[in-house]
Amino acid sequence: MRKSHYTILLILITSITACSRYSKTESGLRFKFLKRSEKTTLPAIGDYLQCYYSITNSEDSIVFSNFNRTPDRILLVAPTHKGGDIMEALGIMAEGDSAQFLINADSFFFKTRLETVLPNYIKTGSDLKFIVKMDKRMNKFQVDSVINTEKIARWNEEVKNIMTYVKSKGLTMELDSTTGIRSQFHAKSSADTAKQIHENSIVKFHFIGKLFDGTEFYNTYTMGQPQIIRVSRDQFQPLGLYDLLIKMKEGEKATFILPYDLGFGAKGVDLMIPPFSTLVYEINILKVE
């Protein structure tokens, strides 16, 4: 009886170990397929791949996922290095496949994404776990058509959400039809001599940046000191903040609503700003030089 029990236990341990093992490509990419489809044709360099994926760090925290959201359409290019490249990973998946990959974090951020430093939630030398569901292969015309359709739908949804937000907050906002930015000034400069913000102005100001749900991603008041910057279109993150500042003069206060495409766009900011987020800025200009 004991022998039989030991045999069953050994089989279970062996089975679990086998399930956790990764296979390797010739270049060293570690992978295991979670689901294989009936399709066997692999993508070629130059194909666009529509896929869903998540990235988990070495502490099993999800740092990105577009599952249950808009899929990414990724142009497949040649791998940049051996030993684990996301392009090599995508290149071994057919339509309908799901797979898991282990990719070195340093090589992903430094060689693939060309970052200069690792994010603070990623450990040097650690592995990232990618779970990828390959939806379908597409050509550029198909990608452009789908993206345009999605943009129109997303724009309509964003306008509806903005109107709901404005009404709920009791705001009376003017629309800049060129940029899509909405604004309401709470304190206007009465003097004609008040300094207008221009390119290369040095501006000292307080501001709060937040999402529609009230989540603040930046607040100079709680940080204890105002922001001081030289206004330059090429250096702004997000780019739309430049368009807000150049509308203002010294001594003015205003609330702005920034459309997602002038904010942080389709990617957002990891662990801070979700993709396609409309942003609210409350700005108080203290000094302009």
Give me the DSSP letters along 241-268. HHHHHTT-BTT-EEEEEE-GGGTTTTT-
232 versus 190: the higher-pLDDT residue is: 232
Map residue 156 onto helix, strand or coil.
Answer: helix
Question: Measured between alpha carbons, how far is 117 from 120 in angstroms, rounded to an integer?
Answer: 9
Q: Quick one: pLDDT at residue 267? A: 84
CA distance from start to end of the chain: 87
Amino acid present at 142:
Q
Q: 31-35, 166-170, 175-179, 256-260: lowest mean pLDDT where?
A: 175-179
Which residues are registered as beta bridge partners of 273?
269
Percentage of the chain modeled with pLDDT above 90? 76
Question: Measured between alpha carbons, how far is 94 from 49 in angstroms, rounded to an integer?
Answer: 10
CATH architecture of 22-140: Roll (3.10)
Mean per-residue pLDDT, 161-184: 95
Helices (H), 1-107: 2-20, 86-91, 105-107
Question: Measured between alpha carbons, how far is 161 from 212 in angstroms, rounded to an integer?
Answer: 9
Q: Quick one: pLDDT at residue 82? A: 86
37 versus 4: the higher-pLDDT residue is: 37
Mean per-residue pLDDT, 178-204: 89
Closest CA to 256 of 242, 269, 267, 268: 242
pLDDT bracket for residue 192 (50, 70, 90):
confident
pLDDT bracket for residue 266 (50, 70, 90):
confident
7 versus 90: the higher-pLDDT residue is: 90
Q: Give span(s): CATH 3.10.50.40, the chain.
A: 22-140, 159-288
Average pLDDT for the chain = 90
Q: Quick one: pLDDT at residue 12? A: 40
- Each residue of 106-115: pLDDT tens digit? 999 999 989 9
SS3 content of the chain, % helix, strand, coil (to 5): 25, 30, 40
CATH architecture of 159-288: Roll (3.10)
Mean per-residue pLDDT, 132-136: 97
Question: Measured between alpha carbons, how far is 236 from 256 in angstroms, rounded to an integer?
Answer: 16
pTM over 0.75: no
Residues 148, 150, 156, 159, Cα dihedral to 10°: -100
- Do residues 250 and 285 lie in contact, with contact meaning Cβ atoms separated by under 8 Å? yes
pLDDT bracket for residue 15 (50, 70, 90):
very low
Say whether pLDDT at 97 is over 70: yes
Mean per-residue pLDDT, 109-123: 92
Question: Measured between alpha carbons, how far is 287 from 206 in angstroms, rounded to an integer?
Answer: 10
Q: Quick one: pLDDT at residue 59? A: 92
- Each residue of 217-264: pLDDT tens digit? 999 999 999 999 999 988 788 889 999 999 999 999 999 999 999 999
Phi/psi-derived region of residue 59, left when phi > 0, alpha when psi is between -120 and 50, beta in every other case: alpha
Question: Measured between alpha carbons, how far is 225 from 237 in angstroms, rounded to an integer?
Answer: 19
